[in-house]
Structure 1
Amino acid sequence: MVMRIFTMLLFAALGLGGCAQQTHLAVATQPDVPDNWHMRVTPTDRTAIDQLGVTWTKARAAVPRRARAALAAEGPLLDPTIALPKPELPPGLYYCRLLRFGGRAGFATSKPDFCTVVANAAGVAFNKQSGASQPRGWLFAHNDTRSVFLGAFQPARGGAAPAYGANPALSVAGVVERVSGFRWRMAMTRAGGGAVLDVYELVPVTPKVPGSVPAVAG
């Protein structure tokens, strides 16, 4: 019963945003996806990934005084020194919340959208299904504490997201790390709105079973 409800939630999320399911299939069937992200990443994104520690330092230093309490309240999510083992995102439905450093607000968070992680014969696909910006692409293993995302944003005027690297204006990469039990983050190599750094919080959507008793954290 739990699996049936979870499956229903997953397919419901794939239907968000009108044509979300169709664009997901377009991304998930890209041919010839290499297992090694080093074979696919652009020089620009490779440099950005290598310099991500510097970007984190600049981003946190630029947070205005009025927003520092909000930054601290996020705990390990926005602590660049925390990266736990097993960074792989399990297949399923996720809440995706954008946290943006810089830009007009200096530091801002958004309401959660929905993302999906789907494993198939080609690899592991990551699709943001709702919200203003929708990165979609592939997840790659890197080391014991980090995975790498290579993808592209869905065009603002609609249509499927292009393959990574096909359109430099839409291509984007990210680094995925686990920061607590069932909480991940994806730090992007590009930020919108003139920001310094965009980070997505990724938390699995837990199916709600009627009549069940919520678990109590130990």
Structure 2
Amino acid sequence: MRIAPTALIALSLAACAKDGTLQLVKEAPETRWRMITTDQDRERLRNWRKAWVAALPEARKADAAAIAEQGPLFEPDQALSRAMPPAGDYKCRTFKLGGQLPEMRDFTALPWFSCRIGEGELPSFAKLDGLQRPMGRIYAESDTRVIFLGALELGDETIPLTYGQDIKRDMAGYIERVGATRWRLVLPWPTFESQLDVIELVPA
């Protein structure tokens, strides 16, 4: 899909300034993510609030202090303008809220890992290490939200799946900015373990 020149100019604003300060993206590149989204993932994205309503109370019961400590990260309606993360290296961590089954944990905080926002005609998100590595493309939606569509790379795989190849490995969510230089990738109703995954991103 070709992107308008003005969008490419906007994307170039993702880079850091010469003095090293982070420059927010003024305008996300124009895309049409709905044209490629599967029925399953349209349902996931449509019901994002239901995922929060189901998962967040259970997570609070499990560890209220940990939820409160993260402040706006776990506030469903917290979203600042300029949602597209600038291209570059980030440190990320995953929180799993609400177990899918009674025997599963309702709150899990995983260790920090390396991730990257890549630039190009379509920006990308990729987890760079670990046994489960989400990776995919970021699509424009609004000034306060952009859409992530990707797939889960496992183990020692070196050739990532593309979105739509395997319904069990497909991932769909949205990215919002929740602080000056803090973003979250929210994945409602992931295939495995939890009812809601929240991946925090901060510049490395």
Same fold at TM > 0.5 = yes
Residue 92 in structure 1 maps to residue 85 in structure 2: no
SS of the counterpart of 2:123? strand
- Which residue of 2 is the match for residue 65 of structure 1? 61
Q: Distance in 2 between matches of 1:193 and 1:166?
A: 17
Specify whether residues 93 and 198 from structure 1 end up closer, same or farther in structure 2 by C-alpha distance, changes over 3 A only: same
**Alignment of structure 1 residues 104-123 onto 2, 5 Å:** 104-120=104-120, 122-123=121-122
Aligned residues: 175
Q: Distance in 2 between matches of 1:59 and 1:100?
A: 9
Structure 1 residue runs of 5 or longer lacking an equivalent are 7-33, 206-218
Q: Distance in 1 between matches of 2:155 and 2:38?
A: 23
- Which residue of 2 is the match for residue 173 of structure 1? 172
Opposite residue 159 of structure 1, the aligned amino acid is T
CA contact (8 A) 2:62 2:106 kept: no
How far 1:189 moved relative to its partner? Answer: 3.4
Specify whether residues 139 and 66 from structure 1 end up closer, same or farther in structure 2 by C-alpha distance, changes over 3 A only: closer
Specify whether residues 180 and 161 from structure 1 end up closer, same or farther in structure 2 by C-alpha distance, changes over 3 A only: same
SS of the counterpart of 2:54? helix
Residue 45 in structure 1 maps to residue 41 in structure 2: yes
SS of the counterpart of 1:134? strand
- Give the % identical residues: 31
Q: Distance in 1 between matches of 2:31 and 2:198?
A: 24
For the aligned residues, what is the CA RMSD?
2.1
Opposite residue 52 of structure 2, the aligned amino acid is W
* TM-score of the superposed pair, with normalisation by structure 1: 0.74
Structure 2 residue runs of 5 or longer lacking an equivalent are 1-15, 21-29
* TM-score of the superposed pair, with normalisation by structure 2: 0.79
Q: Distance in 2 between matches of 1:188 and 1:131?
A: 18
How far 1:131 moved relative to its partner? Answer: 2.1
Opposite residue 165 of structure 1, the aligned amino acid is G
Query: Structure 1, residues 33-78: CA drift from partner, whole Å, max 9, x if none?
Result: x921011111111111111011101111212535111111110001
- Which residue of 2 is the match for residue 189 of structure 1? 188
Q: Which structure's CA Rg is the greater one?
A: 1
Residue 76 in structure 1 maps to residue 75 in structure 2: no
Large movers: runs of 4+ above 4 Å: none
Opposite residue 105 of structure 1, the aligned amino acid is R
